[in-house]
Structure 1
Amino acid sequence: MEFANFIKVLWKHKNILIIIPLVTIIVSFFLVKNLADKYISSAQIATGIVDESRHLLDKDPTGIIQDQQIDHEFSNLIEIMKLKKLINQVSYQLILHDLTSPVPFKPHSKLFETMNQAAKKHAVDVFTYKFNHLEALDYYNEDENGLNELLRSMDYDERELRKDLTIYRDESSDFITVTYESQNPQLSAFVVNVLCKEFINYYTHTIKQNETDAVKFLAALLKAKRDTLNEKTQQLQNYKIKNGVLNLDEQSKSIFDQIMTYRDQKLQAQKDVASYNGALAKINDKFDPNDRKYIEASTNKYNQAVVQTQDQLHLLTDKYVRSNFDPRYKKSLDSLTSKLALQLNQTSDNYISNPLVAKDDLVRQKLTLEVSRDLAKYSVQAIDQALNNLNAKFDRLVPFDATVKKYNFDIEIASKEYMDVLAKYNETNLQSTISIKLRQVEDAAPEAAEPSKKMLLIILSGIVSFGFCVIILFIIFFFDDTVKEPADLVSRTNLPLLGYLNVISGTLDLKKLWDVEHRDKMKKFKELIRSIRFEIDQELHGEKVLGITSLDGAEGKTILAISLAYSYSMINKKVLLIDGNFNNPTISNTAQPKIYIEDYFKNNPDDYESFSNSTNVMGNHGGDVTLLEVSDENFIRSRFNELKVKYDIIIIEAPSLDSLNKSKEWLLFTNKVVAVFEANKDIKKSEKEYIDYLKDLNGKFAGWILNKANFKDGRP
């Protein structure tokens, strides 16, 4: 529905939609017909960012290249190319060309023409110096500011060059394309080539300088880390030499192994002593004391030899233990053991015969066990002494170990830092050797003129102007809250509609309207009046007093009242038309009635002329007066009762509701009320209380009459 209404708005303003685009097309034609041809030159720069053939040494081992990182690198290159200092380099080259060449790229400007030879030479010197030193003109310097104005006059300044300069990456390729558009093919090619050359030189110099600085910094840092590592290593060596520490881990392990060995041997010796003591105790129990004396007396000389051998064996055993069981003492120890056994055998062979000769074997065993027990006891003492010495040595190694570990930790950290810096140095050094080298793979050359866009511009101007008009009309339509159709009035007020009247241009002659055929709009008006008359009859239900009002003045109440009066008279109804609008008595001024409200409704029967059946209009004298000021309500009702007897229908044109009580006083005496609303008007906030009043008339309000509605094909 809204779209259909918008289409109606467009159709209503179709002349605007045709004339404005047509005028725009004509103006555009004259503006573009003398436009010069455009020439575009382009060049390509290979970056090497995604060219795998240029990344053989520093190729990513994962084989994955992040697209976002690549986009950042290309964006960085493009933004560098757009730097003002590089565009200024192009500006300097352009103006130097025109200052020194007999064939300039552009016609000389007025400022250029005013320069003499000395000024031109000075300009060449300054621009050359600025170009060689990659400097910008100082606008606060009067001389350089004048040279900047020269660039502007020739449209060689940085802002003008940017307008027609385009720099972009060719889709997902390795190339950056630079294009420039101008009215001179040589100028376009010159700008592109100079910009590419200066960009490559600037980028190469900057990158090389950065890489050189990075390599120098890393080299100095690497030397410092290496010196720190060497210093830490030398401190550890000096500490080991000073304290006689060779290899703490090996030394501590060796001492620990010796301690464990001695402990095992001590345990075994203790077991032997216990076993020997037990065996000797058993043997002693079998000997009588007298027999022991006999045996000792007979073997005394042999026992002395055995004791001497045992003492030698004790000494040799002690040396053997102290030497950590050195094999050199093993042979001597075995020799003494054999000698002791021989002496014991001699003692056994020279026993003196007595009745106890059966116990000779026990004597030999006892002597042997005593020797073995003594050896075991002495070895325990020697082992304890050796264990004490080893534990002391082990305890001395503990503080050495802590200090050595601290030195080793410092060396480990220094070594890690050194290796990290070394790896970074090697990586940076490699990158500086094989870093990206930009190269211009395609030079810009003068090209043919671009296809003319004049017709396209003309058509585009017409389309744009048409679209602009449509947008303006849409904005007007969107913010337009006026009532245009009967449905709008019903939806906005929630009150019923009786009918509507179309717009009539010129003067409406009601007598001729009902006598002869008129043009379509007049005929339509008459049909709509008939329709409204029918609807009013249905609402009155035999009642006779109809009040006509409106929200605001001048909305068509008078036309409706007069038209309805004529319409009812055409069906042979006796009609009384009362002009109740004291503020604007149009009916009274037009009809010149014989009787007036002030006379008829005044409570004085001698002051008015009696009505005749031929009287059909009651006027008023106008002025600031209300109906109830003319007479009281009861008397007025009695007068209306008299009028109802004489007339079939009484039509009252009441004042508009914005006159407050003047309208409401008339509506007290009506049976039904209709309100006239003029189409294409908005309902004001102040008028909403009048609508509420109509809703509160308790069914007396019959409906709206929409006046001055626009029609097309018989529909509003």
Structure 2
Amino acid sequence: MTELSQFLRILYKNKFVLIFVPLITVVAAYFLVKALPDQFKSHGSIATGLVDKTEQGLMSSGTEQDFEIARKFDNIIQMMSQKKVLDQVSYQLLLHDLKAAEKDDFRSASKDLQALDQNARAQAVNVLTQKYKTQQELSPAVPQEKKLLAILKDMGYDAESVQKKLTIFRLSNSDFINIEYESDDSQMASFVINTLSSEFIKMYSARLTDTYNRTISFLADFLEQKRMALRVQMNGLRDYKIKNRVLNLDEQAKSLYGQMAEFELRREVAKKDVIAYGVAIRNIDNRFSANDRKYFESAVSGINQSIVATKQRLRALNEAYVKSNFDPKYKAGLDSIQTKLSAQINESTDRYVYSPLSLKENLVTQKLTMEVERDLAANSLATIEAELKTLNNKFDGLVPNEARVQEFETAIDIAGREYMEALQKYNDARLASSFPATLKVAEKALPGVIQPSKKIVLVILSGVISFAFCLFILFILYFFDSSIRYPQQLANATDRPVLGFVNQLGGGFRISELQNEHTSEGKIELFRNLIRSIRFELDNEFPDPKILSITSLSEGSGKTLLTLSLAWAFSKINKRVLIIDGNFNAADITKLNTGSRYLEDYLTKGDTVTTAAHGSISILANKGGDVSLLELADETRIKEALATLKTQYDTILVDAGSLVSMNKAKEWITFSDAVVAVFESGHSISYDDRSKIEYLKGLNGKMAGWVLTGAQDILKQSGRVSKHVAE
């Protein structure tokens, strides 16, 4: 709160600055904004088709996320704000003024534009038209184009000037982009918006079409590459099959595998039959005696030869049947020969002249039949083994062909998928190019509506800003001002109490001038009251008799004036007061009060000082020079002299000089009962002053306190001043 009150005092001190500076600013702003033209605002809108996709028909997917749509809107808005687009608007504005009548111009022609003759205007129109059609910028390197750039800037038609008054934004979450423009001409406001909309839509559509065309062209080339790659792989497979006589590996492998399985089954059956029939025949032979076999063989020798011949024919036909992979055309011949063989066996049985005692006719018949079946099975086994070997060789030959064919088929499958993906992308691109999300003008801009005047706002704002600026400057000055102007500041800075403060009185004066209580001057009257307050603090804390040394941190702080004033104040309460001018370097009291006794004579020669009456003031002057107290007399003599003076006076005030000459002031402080330090208002505590303040703080109770002199900022404060103790 102390800092705030001090800052408020500074504001009060500079109240006229805070009043007149904003007032002057307001008046100046009023005359400046008075000539400002009225402003007109127009607005239009563009439908993007990014949210509302009803016109896209089947192409409307509705799968885009909100952030993707927002990003597209941001891109469109940034593209509309590009210099390339705004340059097109600038060219149109200047072309309008160059071609239109003077009364239809959007703005008054600049000096450079007025200086153009008919030929120059025609050349300017041609250059601007050419730049407009080719969508190129004017080059400062070309003199004529540089001049046109200067005209655009002077007229406020350049891209930067247009962009300052242009506002482009998306309306909430809708499908529309709003465009607003503010100008000093209502027709110009709508012209800028409509031109910007049409130019941007044209450029955006051309850019979109170019992008689609480049995409389709690239995808077409890519699709052709994939088609050629697929065709190469298919031709390679075809040529390989032709070269290696491969028809259908899967069907061939299945057929060979089936034949091999069938022949393996027949081989196993034949092996079983050979073994089984052999065992059966041996068992039958074991049942016949040697005489039986001799009788039997002699009886049937003729028919047996026929049976052997038939068996040979049956064996040959059976081999052909097996080698033909069991062709059905051989089946009829086999059946016919088999029937003939059965008839011959039956005939052999009929001719069998067997002993009547024998009962083995059926065994003979069975033996003959089994021998035929055994021979057939044994003959078939060799043929089946040969065919199995042939089939295995054929099957082994299919394996490398299968690996190579699979390699071709895998490559064809990959190439086919790549081709189909490329074809899908190509079709999607062609379909998207047929239904693009084109922009269109949703609301055409109309002539602008006049806007509420901002002149009053600008005037008020100028006053507020100037007032805030003044406050800021005063705060900066206060913040960086380390000078001490108030008692509380001094107490906080020195950590010692402040006895009071006194206002400033110009020029030196004698005691008699201060004693003239009939003076009605306000400063002197206030000064007397402040001195009385300081006297009260000293008299209340230090009883009589007492020696008070008055010092300061530097020369010229008002120490002499305070000494004389305190002497007057103590005399007003019937105290006997002695003033000792102990400042040998600057004997101001001696100069102001000539004819007084000298301190040197009193200490060295033993001169006597007459005891003063109550309420009177005596002065001990000094002769000056580069001396100190202890150089005039020894410590014992000084103590005796001061003790004698204390019996004659109630209060002894010593002007001890400043602490700049440390030893001289310290000598007086050594023999004093209390020390009063003087600090002049408006000065700051320097680095060198810190050691002096530490010395005063270490005086063990002798330091009575500080007195602030020349306090200009608190002249109105009067009455009793209490101690300001640092917190």
Name the TM-score, length of structure 2 as normaliser: 0.84
Residues 173-252 of structure 1 aligned to structure 2 (within 5 Å): 173-252=174-253
2:659 matched residue in structure 1: 657
| Cα separation, 2, equivalents of 1:636 and 1:378 | 165
Q: Give 2:592's aligned amino acid.
A: T
Contact 1:38 1:450 in 2 (8 A): yes
1:686 matched residue in structure 2: 688
Distance 1:378 1:515, change over 3 A: farther
Q: Give 1:446's aligned amino acid.
A: P
Distance 1:26 1:342, change over 3 A: same
Contact 1:499 1:528 in 2 (8 A): no
**Uncovered stretches (5+) of structure 2, i.e. residues with no partner:** none
1:179 counterpart SS class = strand
Contact 1:579 1:618 in 2 (8 A): yes
Distance 1:106 1:302, change over 3 A: same
1:654 counterpart SS class = strand
Contact 2:578 2:619 in 1 (8 A): yes
Contact 2:504 2:712 in 1 (8 A): no
Distance 1:321 1:454, change over 3 A: same
Contact 2:56 2:436 in 1 (8 A): no
Distance 1:279 1:610, change over 3 A: farther
2:611 counterpart SS class = coil
| Cα separation, 2, equivalents of 1:160 and 1:219 | 46
Distance 1:373 1:95, change over 3 A: same
Once the 2 structures are TM-superposed, how far is the Cα of residue 706 of structure 1 from its aligned partner?
4.7
Residues 232-311 of structure 1 aligned to structure 2 (within 5 Å): 232-267=233-268, 269-270=270-271, 304=305, 307-311=308-312
| Cα separation, 2, equivalents of 1:697 and 1:284 | 158
Residue by residue over 1:403-444, the C-alpha shift from the partner in whole angstroms, topping out at 9 and shown as x without a partner, is 222222322232222222222212221222111222222222
Tell whether 2:93 aligns with 1:91: no
2:47 matched residue in structure 1: 46
Distance 1:378 1:644, change over 3 A: farther
1:454 matched residue in structure 2: 455
| Cα separation, 1, equivalents of 2:638 and 2:283 | 164
Once the 2 structures are TM-superposed, how far is the Cα of residue 192 of structure 1 from its aligned partner?
2.4
Distance 1:357 1:499, change over 3 A: farther
Distance 1:308 1:563, change over 3 A: farther
1:499 matched residue in structure 2: 499
Once the 2 structures are TM-superposed, how far is the Cα of residue 520 of structure 1 from its aligned partner?
9.1
Distance 1:628 1:336, change over 3 A: farther
The 10-residue stretch of structure 1 (142-151 or 476-485) with the greater mean CA deviation from structure 2 = 476-485
1:557 matched residue in structure 2: 559
| Cα separation, 1, equivalents of 2:60 and 2:669 | 97
1:68 matched residue in structure 2: 67
| Cα separation, 2, equivalents of 1:632 and 1:396 | 140
Once the 2 structures are TM-superposed, how far is the Cα of residue 208 of structure 1 from its aligned partner?
1.7
Once the 2 structures are TM-superposed, how far is the Cα of residue 355 of structure 1 from its aligned partner?
9.9
Residue by residue over 1:543-569, the C-alpha shift from the partner in whole angstroms, topping out at 9 and shown as x without a partner, is 834433343444443444444444444
The 10-residue stretch of structure 1 (87-96 or 264-273) with the greater mean CA deviation from structure 2 = 264-273
| Cα separation, 2, equivalents of 1:581 and 1:276 | 162
Q: Give 1:144's aligned amino acid.
A: E
Tell whether 2:607 aligns with 1:609: yes
Contact 1:316 1:329 in 2 (8 A): yes
Tell whether 2:617 aligns with 1:618: no
Tell whether 2:383 aligns with 1:385: no
| Cα separation, 2, equivalents of 1:682 and 1:267 | 128
1:164 matched residue in structure 2: 165
Q: Give 1:208's aligned amino acid.
A: T
The 10-residue stretch of structure 1 (136-145 or 632-641) with the greater mean CA deviation from structure 2 = 632-641
Tell whether 2:587 aligns with 1:588: no
Contact 1:169 1:176 in 2 (8 A): yes
Distance 1:709 1:139, change over 3 A: closer
Distance 1:600 1:301, change over 3 A: farther
Number of residue pairs the alignment of both structures matches: 709
The 10-residue stretch of structure 1 (302-311 or 613-622) with the greater mean CA deviation from structure 2 = 302-311
Q: Give 1:449's aligned amino acid.
A: I
Once the 2 structures are TM-superposed, how far is the Cα of residue 194 of structure 1 from its aligned partner?
2.2
| Cα separation, 2, equivalents of 1:512 and 1:544 | 23
2:411 matched residue in structure 1: 410
Distance 1:40 1:371, change over 3 A: same
Distance 1:98 1:323, change over 3 A: same
Distance 1:351 1:36, change over 3 A: same
Q: Give 2:672's aligned amino acid.
A: T
Q: CA RMSD in A?
A: 3.9
Once the 2 structures are TM-superposed, how far is the Cα of residue 386 of structure 1 from its aligned partner?
3.0
| Cα separation, 1, equivalents of 2:345 and 2:663 | 162
Distance 1:338 1:488, change over 3 A: farther
| Cα separation, 2, equivalents of 1:339 and 1:517 | 181
Distance 1:358 1:480, change over 3 A: farther
1:673 counterpart SS class = strand
Once the 2 structures are TM-superposed, how far is the Cα of residue 309 of structure 1 from its aligned partner?
4.9
Once the 2 structures are TM-superposed, how far is the Cα of residue 264 of structure 1 from its aligned partner?
4.8
| Cα separation, 2, equivalents of 1:551 and 1:375 | 149
Residue by residue over 1:34-72, the C-alpha shift from the partner in whole angstroms, topping out at 9 and shown as x without a partner, is 222112222222222221213432223xx3433333233
1:49 counterpart SS class = coil
Contact 1:6 1:474 in 2 (8 A): yes
| Cα separation, 2, equivalents of 1:328 and 1:426 | 60
| Cα separation, 1, equivalents of 2:461 and 2:167 | 23
Residues 478-497 of structure 1 aligned to structure 2 (within 5 Å): 478-483=479-484, 486-493=487-494, 495-497=495-497
| Cα separation, 1, equivalents of 2:196 and 2:455 | 30
Contact 2:487 2:501 in 1 (8 A): no
1:100 matched residue in structure 2: 99
Contact 2:499 2:706 in 1 (8 A): yes
The 10-residue stretch of structure 1 (20-29 or 321-330) with the greater mean CA deviation from structure 2 = 321-330
Distance 1:38 1:354, change over 3 A: same
Contact 2:547 2:652 in 1 (8 A): yes
Once the 2 structures are TM-superposed, how far is the Cα of residue 236 of structure 1 from its aligned partner?
1.4
| Cα separation, 2, equivalents of 1:362 and 1:651 | 176
Q: Give 1:499's aligned amino acid.
A: L
Once the 2 structures are TM-superposed, how far is the Cα of residue 704 of structure 1 from its aligned partner?
4.0
Q: Give 2:24's aligned amino acid.
A: V
Q: Give 2:85's aligned amino acid.
A: L
Distance 1:445 1:347, change over 3 A: same
Distance 1:645 1:338, change over 3 A: farther
Contact 1:91 1:158 in 2 (8 A): yes
Q: Give 1:97's aligned amino acid.
A: H
| Cα separation, 2, equivalents of 1:576 and 1:356 | 195
2:411 counterpart SS class = helix
| Cα separation, 2, equivalents of 1:52 and 1:28 | 52
Q: Give 2:610's aligned amino acid.
A: S
2:227 counterpart SS class = helix
Once the 2 structures are TM-superposed, how far is the Cα of residue 400 of structure 1 from its aligned partner?
1.5
Once the 2 structures are TM-superposed, how far is the Cα of residue 531 of structure 1 from its aligned partner?
5.5
Distance 1:65 1:465, change over 3 A: farther
| Cα separation, 2, equivalents of 1:653 and 1:671 | 14
| Cα separation, 2, equivalents of 1:372 and 1:613 | 180
Residue by residue over 1:155-213, the C-alpha shift from the partner in whole angstroms, topping out at 9 and shown as x without a partner, is 33333333323333323222223333222222222222222222222222222223223
1:79 matched residue in structure 2: 78
Contact 2:166 2:181 in 1 (8 A): yes
Q: How high is the sequence identity, in percent, across the aligned residues?
A: 42
The 10-residue stretch of structure 1 (479-488 or 166-175) with the greater mean CA deviation from structure 2 = 479-488
| Cα separation, 2, equivalents of 1:528 and 1:290 | 181
Q: Give 1:551's aligned amino acid.
A: L
Distance 1:119 1:314, change over 3 A: same
Distance 1:29 1:276, change over 3 A: same
1:123 matched residue in structure 2: 124
**Uncovered stretches (5+) of structure 1, i.e. residues with no partner:** none
Once the 2 structures are TM-superposed, how far is the Cα of residue 271 of structure 1 from its aligned partner?
5.3
1:670 matched residue in structure 2: 672
Contact 2:149 2:158 in 1 (8 A): yes
Contact 2:487 2:498 in 1 (8 A): no
